[in-house]
Amino acid sequence: MIEKNEALIDEQIDISEDICRMENLVYEKPETLTDTEMHYCPGCGHGVAHRIIMEVVDELGIQSQTIGVAPVGCSVLAYHYMNIDMQQAAHGRATAVATGIKRVLPEKFVFTYQGDGDLAAIGTAETIHSINRGENFLIVFINNAVYGMTSGQMAPTTLEGMVSTTSPYGRDVRTMGHPLKIADMISILPGAYYVTRQAVNTPGNVRKAKKAIQKSFEYQKLKKGTCLVEIVSNCPSNWKSTPLESNKFVAEKLIPFYPLGDIKVPKE
């Protein structure tokens, strides 16, 4: 029996080595991501968003030239995972901090990473005025329609009728207002250079989101204004759903209200 088991193990090792050949490699973690175990809930889109941002930084060869600004919210610990220079900002103030960094170090590639509670609620003023001034950095805006870190309260992006801990009967627009379409709102500002809305719920959407982030970093070289990439994402824990159910909700509910695609593109 022992000999049989050892033979089976050897066979499995041989199969694994065959599968793991370099030509079969589908994904390899870039050096721009640390080996720190992520704290995000299973199925959360933050991990995917982190990965594609850092892949772009790695592929563009700008790791030593990039500075990120972490928010307050679920991704408050983004600096643990991104192997670049990072700065922590107070809740909602990431674009104000990024403004200071970019003005002092104008040749650096600067980006903020913010959720909808951080950017669209507490940081509304900082966000709008930074973009209106045309500050030359990238804003990555994660829209999962709730306050994620603090148990799932209604956010400015929560859909009409959507249940949250502070809208247990669903969002009533008569008393709670309408959901904010941030990307559409800021696209009319003259300082906004490139504005797009993408998602990370399918492999195809992940690729498009990564391409948008790549373009945004490259646009910083032109010094033409602010880029904003909104990423429609999921929150399985606060939506009380499985990862698969949450991705279905993104496709069937969030994306129809927050349609994907470029909203403002640079003029030729």
Say which residues have a Cβ less than 8 Å from residue 254's Cβ, sequence separation at least 6: 143, 145, 159, 199, 232
So what's the pLDDT on residue 148?
Answer: 84
76 part of a folded domain: yes
200 part of a folded domain: yes
Range of the domain at 245: 30-264
Look over the chain and give the mean of its residue pLDDT values, rounded to a whole number. Answer: 93
* Per-residue pLDDT band at 14 (split at 50, 70, 90): low
161 part of a folded domain: yes
* Per-residue pLDDT band at 18 (split at 50, 70, 90): low
112 part of a folded domain: yes
18 part of a folded domain: no
So what's the pLDDT on residue 151?
Answer: 83
14 part of a folded domain: no
Say which residues have a Cβ less than 8 Å from residue 76's Cβ, sequence separation at least 6: 70, 88, 149
* Per-residue pLDDT band at 255 (split at 50, 70, 90): very high
Residue labelled with tokens 């949450």: 246
2 part of a folded domain: no
Residue 258 is given by DSSP the state S
So what's the pLDDT on residue 5?
Answer: 61
More confident residue, 18 or 156: 156
Residue 260 has pLDDT above 80, yes or no: yes
Residue 250 has pLDDT above 60, yes or no: yes
8 part of a folded domain: no
Q: Helix, strand or coil for residue 20?
A: coil
Q: End-to-end CA distance of the chain, in Å?
A: 72
* Per-residue pLDDT band at 210 (split at 50, 70, 90): very high
pLDDT tens-digit series, residues 42-68: 999 999 999 999 999 999 999 999 999
Say which residues have a Cβ less than 8 Å from residue 235's Cβ, sequence separation at least 6: 41, 44, 144, 145, 146, 148, 152, 246
Q: Helix, strand or coil for residue 88?
A: strand
Number of domains, the chain? 1
Let me know: does 153 contact 165? Beta carbons within 8 Å: yes
So what's the pLDDT on residue 4?
Answer: 56
pLDDT tens-digit series, residues 96-153: 999 999 999 999 999 999 999 999 999 999 999 999 999 999 999 999 999 988 888 9
In terms of residues, how long is the chain? 268
Q: What CATH number did the domain enclosing 201 receive? A: 3.40.50.970
So what's the pLDDT on residue 27?
Answer: 75
CA distances from 139 to 54, 68, 109, 222, 247 (A): 14, 10, 12, 16, 23
